[in-house]
Structure 1
Amino acid sequence: MISISGSGNAVYAAKNPQSPENVSIVYWNVEKQKIDGFGGSFAFHKGGSVMRLDEPVRSQILDMIFSKEKGIGLSIVRNMIGDGGIDDWGDSHYDGPTETIMPGPDKYVWDDDRWNKDEFDKYQIWIMKEAKKRGVDTFLSTAWSPPAWMKKNKSVIDTGETPNKLDEDMYQQYAEYLAAYVKGYKEHFNLNITHISPANEPELSTSYSSCLWTPEELNTFVRDYLAPTFKKEKIPSKIVLGESMEFSENYVLPALNDIKTNPYIDVVAAHAYQGLLDGDTTPDPDEFARSKELGKTIWQTEFMNQGNDKQTFENNTITDGLKYANLIGNIFDVTGVNAYFWWWPAANNGADGSDLIRLVNDGSDQRVAPTENNLFRVFKRFYTFGNYSRFIQPGYKMIKADKHPVNDVLITAYKEPRAGNFTIVAVNNSPENQTVTFKLKDFPGNTGAVVPYRTSASENLKKLDAIKVNKQQFSMELRGKSVTTFIPEKFQLPALPDLKDVFSSYLAYENNGQSPVLQVKKSSEGGKMITNLKNGSYIRYTNVNFADGSANGQADMRGILSMNARVASNGGGKIEVRLDHPKGKTVGIMEVPKMKNPRKWFTVSTMIDTNPTDGAYGLHDVYLVFKGDKKKNMFNVSQFGFSDGKLVQATKTE
């Protein structure tokens, strides 16, 4: 079997037919649910984090989020319906998560001659329009809270006294408010709000915008007020209900079981914070039993790495990427969801775990004066999320595939029925490479070849060489701990722009240039190594994004970065970490001691100088320069990696 690791357009035929237990049959004619797309939110002014960036970084981030040619192709934007209240930090000058269209009874902002249209909700409107330019036409607007004047406690947040709830006498006003929001955004901003959700996490009352609802109250509101108002006002937006923290349909059951309300529920939505055990990526198949029985559309509309224990270096690496690749595959297959959302696709905030892309700030208090500095950190989950979202667009249908052809491998498949395009996603959770044969049963026409796109510890949605399809089947050796997406060669997408990061490992032989004297050989540990190192020889990696020089983006870890190398030593020597040239700035030195056993592999490491003037800060080419005695065999090296200040130093006695 040929292992595919290149990036050109050559077509390789598979060899050595695999045994039946390594076969996944993909059934074109066994259709499951329709896919509505993949989305993300920009609530709480996070569109402004992108808007404030300078060009060309601003367009680069927008393309990375929304373009399937240059990024991961998100197809849905989730917005926050403004309530006009204060935020959870109590800043009196702050005008709330975003402005409300109705600051008082019968008082719409656009009826005021002093209304500043250009400033109103400008961050969300700007991000929606930028998404629209890149092909997005689905916009979900969710209310965290009605305006304060409609509520029992006259506040958009929990005040600790009067219940944080909508006044029952205001149900009709609130329904008219949501209808006016849809009409107003179309009239004044030319934006079609395709979906409306009246309540975000209705079981939660907090110090930020929130409002408590019971399931029965939501049913009453939709049945007697929202749906009739939308019908009367001819509002085209679909009604999304639920969005509870628990990944279940419990908050929607009264509405689903009410024969008057049920027809008006277009989407049953939930978040994934509760109901899945920590680390478990397989949901309960019965959590949405009634929704599926009624043929309802199901969306998972919010999830992220939440909690201080998730804000670690490891939770930004392939370990985390695989977690979400498994969760997405299972949530489509087991639950039958039609759309999957991340929380903030790109944002400036205080925790890595909230984002797919973290926009770095200059250290100022981002709650009061958020200041981006045009640096950004891209996490592995961005790419494994993209293994799905880039290649599965709205209108695709999930189709049956043999899910576990071999231990630790998860296979899911999707098709675009009209054009004959398809997507197969293979997640290999094993640290070992595993070969799988894919049989394309009843697929239309003759698929000549498929193109794989792989995310692994050392790769970021890398476009690989095409694989020839013989008699409607093909095989590939799936790299250990990787996610690989296959699409037909005739529908191939371009390779993403080269961008490396500190969350990846760097295989020594998969470099972007090396001294001619260096050789690649098999390693006694398995895999491959670089050998025949000479004094002054080097290998190079291009376009490494150090961002602010941190492995862990939390404030107390800012600028802390270490680097390590896996080596087997004879005479020993040094590995100099240099920037942009073999004689460029040295930002770290790894000492490789002389060893008695030259076949024993071990790890050496160094702290990296990340100062913003001439250190490992921003984008750089990295040169690993080998130094040692010119007359002695120095050492061999297999891979490099980064960490959050953890040093491992070998001793001469090993």
Structure 2
Amino acid sequence: MLKLTSRWSRLYTVLAVVSTFSIFSCQKNSLTLESQEAQLNKKAAVSAQAGATIATLNWDQTYQKIDGFGAFGGRIVPFFESAKRDSILDYLWGGSGLKLNILRGKVLHTYPFNQQTKVVTIKPAGVSIDVDPNSATYQNLTADEKEQLGQVWIIKKAKERYEVPFVMASTWTPPLYMKTNTSSISAKWFNGLNFNTSSTAFARYLTGFVKSFQNEGITINAISPSNEPENVFSDWDASYWDSSHLGQFITNNLRPELNSAGLQSTKIISSENAAWGTADNFLSGMDRSKVDILAGHGYVEISGIITGQRGFNQSPSMWNFSIGGKPMWVTEASDDGGNYDNGIEGGLKLAVNMHKLLADCNANAYVFWLGMLAFQNNEALICTKSDGSLEFPKTYDVMGHYSRFIKAGYMRINVGVQNGNGLLISAYKDPQTGKFVLVVTNTGTAAVPLDINLTGFASGALNNYQTTASSSGHWENVGTVNPNSSGVYSLTIPAKSISTLEGNKL
């Protein structure tokens, strides 16, 4: 994706060229609907605390289905070489950790590719993926071979140990010999796929990648032919695409090639622009007929960059085109503003970003950028201290407030809010089991009393999990909340906190 120190100074310059400002925010686009729902809920809402925020959950008013939460399985070589790699896998995809159900991988541009047989070699021959990283066998590999082998290990172990159900792979750049400038890894000067000579070859390369992982016993559920296709200023591996050519490539080359290889079930993701609003503009002018999952990233828009903002987009805008019932995924986001913050302020930036994209923009899935780094930086959910020990920024805990409790298949349900006091509240239900989850974020400096009403269903006690500035553990269970005689759940949401309440429909 990026170089850690230079993303914002260069990557978003290009957004000024390809982006237009969204006029209405997600909140404004949904104002009429929310106002109507607020009126419907107002009569039923009961407050047990003076000045409290009143949240009314409506079981029967549903929105999008949640597909899940994930992270990128990298940076690959530091991940593979880490002495803590087994623990890191568990902390991300395991039951004691975030319980992520999506793993994002990378279609490396360095794989050997036989264009006659269409075979892509995804790991060096004669070397087991279980090779000791300290052994001479591993150390004698090239940097490219280490990365290739490391990715197979990460994905395969995650699948074997935790049965991670969904693996996607994004493509930063085609092999260099397929690009218009065959000597440049970047997309500078609009360097991208040479459509005149390499469209078929690149489609076969992506298909061969999926087939080779299949031969390793790993299903690549979805593939994306691009990553931030508008970025023509950065030095890292990238490929320029305009929306017209990307749509044509997917429709005329990639989908037919996947089908001909028996990979009809492999989904295609596009277009993974750097900002949600940029993806809106890009996808709206693209042939999306063969795209299965519409995707964008969750970074600050160009309008925010101009005013000095960095990192997570705190006010993403709803897409203005008709998505035709297709899912919308956030396939990358992190706080890469440059200043490391492992505390609650950093965590709340992620909390706001996730709430706005899921609850206001109806995203179906949210994938964080890096699962781990070998040093301390907010681009990763898990960091490594200088002594080799692992560090968990509050962003890790915030991610878990969603990923540990809201499962794939849950539906977002309506929450009517009165006297909001700055709280961000969203709710989700499992239509099959009757479980439901309420996520509440308080970015303010004062605690807020909250009264919860239920419409269309009843429940028993709610389990209350919280993360605050002083929390020492992950998702601390601070007790249960029981309804009063009127069926109202009353509690106090601490300042600078995120809470997840979990219950069961009776």
Q: Residue by residue, what CA displacement relative to the aligned partner does 1:256-300 show, whole Å, maximum 9, x if unpaired?
A: xx4xx52x2111111122427327622122xx12144x2221111
Does 2:327 correspond to 1:306? no
Query: CA distance change for structure 1 residues 23 and 203 in 2, over 3 Å: closer, same or farther?
Result: same
- Tell me the distance in 1 between the aligned counterparts of 2:366 and 2:122: 37
- Tell me the distance in 2 between the aligned counterparts of 1:144 and 1:29: 42
Does 2:327 correspond to 1:316? no
Question: Cα distance, 1:110 vs. partner?
Answer: 4.8
Query: CA distance change for structure 1 residues 428 and 176 in 2, over 3 Å: closer, same or farther?
Result: same
Mapping 1:132-281, distance limit 5 Å: 132=159, 133-155=161-183, 157-158=185-186, 163-187=191-215, 189-205=216-232, 206-235=234-263, 236-248=265-277, 249-255=280-286, 258=287, 261-262=288-289, 264-275=290-301, 277=304, 278=309, 281=314
Mapping 1:99-114, distance limit 5 Å: 100-102=111-113, 108=119, 110=121
Q: Contact 2:453–2:487 at 8 Å: present in 1 too?
A: yes
- Tell me the distance in 1 between the aligned counterparts of 2:211 and 2:86: 29
Question: Cα distance, 1:147 vs. partner?
Answer: 1.1
Q: Contact 1:435–1:475 at 8 Å: present in 2 too?
A: yes
Q: TM-score, normalized by length of structure 2?
A: 0.78
Question: Cα distance, 1:451 vs. partner?
Answer: 0.6
Question: Cα distance, 1:403 vs. partner?
Answer: 4.3
- Tell me the distance in 2 between the aligned counterparts of 1:161 and 1:19: 61
Q: Secondary structure at the match of 1:23?
A: strand
Question: Cα distance, 1:48 vs. partner?
Answer: 3.7
Structure with greater helix share of residues: 2
Q: Contact 1:415–1:423 at 8 Å: present in 2 too?
A: yes
Q: Secondary structure at the match of 2:475?
A: strand
Q: Secondary structure at the match of 1:208?
A: coil
Question: Cα distance, 1:53 vs. partner?
Answer: 3.4
Query: CA distance change for structure 1 residues 16 and 140 in 2, over 3 Å: closer, same or farther?
Result: closer
Higher relative contact order (CA 8 A, sep 6+): 2
* Alignment match, 2:136: none
* Alignment match, 2:490: 475
- Tell me the distance in 1 between the aligned counterparts of 2:373 and 2:418: 36
- Tell me the distance in 2 between the aligned counterparts of 1:52 and 1:489: 43
Question: Cα distance, 1:327 vs. partner?
Answer: 1.5
Alpha-carbon RMSD: 2.8
Of the candidates 372, 382, 387, which is equivalent to residue 346 of structure 1?
372
Q: Contact 2:434–2:505 at 8 Å: present in 1 too?
A: no
Of the candidates 328, 343, 352, which is equivalent to residue 326 of structure 1?
352
Q: Contact 2:193–2:199 at 8 Å: present in 1 too?
A: no
Q: Residue by residue, what CA displacement relative to the aligned partner does 1:166-215 show, whole Å, maximum 9, x if unpaired?
A: 3432111111221121111111x111100110011111133221111111
* Alignment match, 2:154: 127
Q: Secondary structure at the match of 1:219?
A: helix
Q: Contact 1:102–1:147 at 8 Å: present in 2 too?
A: no
Does 2:419 correspond to 1:388? no
More off after superposition, 321-330 vs 26-35: 321-330
Does 2:54 correspond to 1:23? yes
Q: Contact 2:57–2:415 at 8 Å: present in 1 too?
A: yes
Q: TM-score, normalized by length of structure 1?
A: 0.61
Question: Cα distance, 1:125 vs. partner?
Answer: 1.7
* Alignment match, 1:38: 69
* Alignment match, 2:25: none
Q: Contact 1:244–1:271 at 8 Å: present in 2 too?
A: yes
Of the candidates 474, 479, 483, which is equivalent to residue 465 of structure 1?
479
Q: Secondary structure at the match of 2:174?
A: coil
- Tell me the distance in 1 between the aligned counterparts of 2:505 and 2:79: 34
Q: Contact 1:147–1:156 at 8 Å: present in 2 too?
A: no
Question: Cα distance, 1:25 vs. partner?
Answer: 0.2
Does 2:81 correspond to 1:52? yes
* Alignment match, 2:27: none
Output the amino acid matched with 1:342.
F
Q: Contact 1:219–1:254 at 8 Å: present in 2 too?
A: no
Mapping 1:607-646, distance limit 5 Å: none
* Alignment match, 1:561: none
- Tell me the distance in 2 between the aligned counterparts of 1:65 and 1:196: 21
Q: Secondary structure at the match of 1:374?
A: coil
Q: Contact 2:47–2:54 at 8 Å: present in 1 too?
A: no
Structure 2, unmatched stretches of 5+, are: 1-45, 132-144
- Tell me the distance in 1 between the aligned counterparts of 2:236 and 2:124: 31
Output the amino acid matched with 2:383.
R
Query: CA distance change for structure 1 residues 211 and 161 in 2, over 3 Å: closer, same or farther?
Result: closer
Does 2:284 correspond to 1:284? no
Q: Residue by residue, what CA displacement relative to the aligned partner does 1:354-393 show, whole Å, maximum 9, x if unpaired?
A: 11111235xxxxxxxxxxx531221111111211111112
Structure 1, unmatched stretches of 5+, are: 1-14, 85-99, 362-372, 492-654
Q: Contact 1:403–1:412 at 8 Å: present in 2 too?
A: no
* Alignment match, 1:633: none
- Tell me the distance in 2 between the aligned counterparts of 1:212 and 1:33: 32
Larger gyration radius, structure 1 or structure 2: 1
Q: Residue by residue, what CA displacement relative to the aligned partner does 1:563-584 show, whole Å, maximum 9, x if unpaired?
A: xxxxxxxxxxxxxxxxxxxxxx
Of the candidates 301, 323, 326, which is equivalent to residue 296 of structure 1?
326
